[in-house]
Amino acid sequence: MLKKIYKIIIIPYPLFLLYLMFFGMGRHQMEDHLIRLNPVLSTIEFMKDAFQWKYTVMIVLGNMIMFIPFGFLGWIFPKFKDLKTLLMAFVSCIVIVEALQYFTRLGIFEVDDVLLNSFGVYWGWLLSRWIEKRLTY
């Protein structure tokens, strides 16, 4: 039953995320193409202000939590039960999305986003394995 619900939810979910990544949360087209290639350091720099620290924690957790559902793709596509295959496919897709944000100027290409989103997929993969073990016993 859980897998059937997942199959229904996962179809519109990527469209919702793409909307958020390009148009949601008051996004607008930037004047310049922006890219942040310093993993973790740019996030730490952003956190120096107390207000931004709370905002950054929300962003960091959001970037991980929002991508947990993709860790369950092995339920639909058996080849994605393999973590290496899942992460290779996911990282390829998220790099394309980040590049589109850069080229359209509707966001910033951030290496931190790629890392945090991938970590979220890993959490999802671990959670899906845990659920499957619980359901089989």
Q: How remote is the C-alpha of 110 from its chain's centroid?
A: 12
Question: What pTM was computed for the model?
Answer: 0.85
**Buried-state track 103-116, b at ≥16 Cβ within 10 A, e below 16:** eeeebbbbbbbbbb
Structure tokens at 83: 């973590």
Give the model confidence (pLDDT) of 39-94 as tens digits: 776 666 666 665 667 777 788 899 999 999 999 999 999 999 999 999 999 999 99
pLDDT at 1: 79
Tell me if 89 sits within 8 A of 80, measured CB to CB. yes
Structure tokens at 30: 């930037």
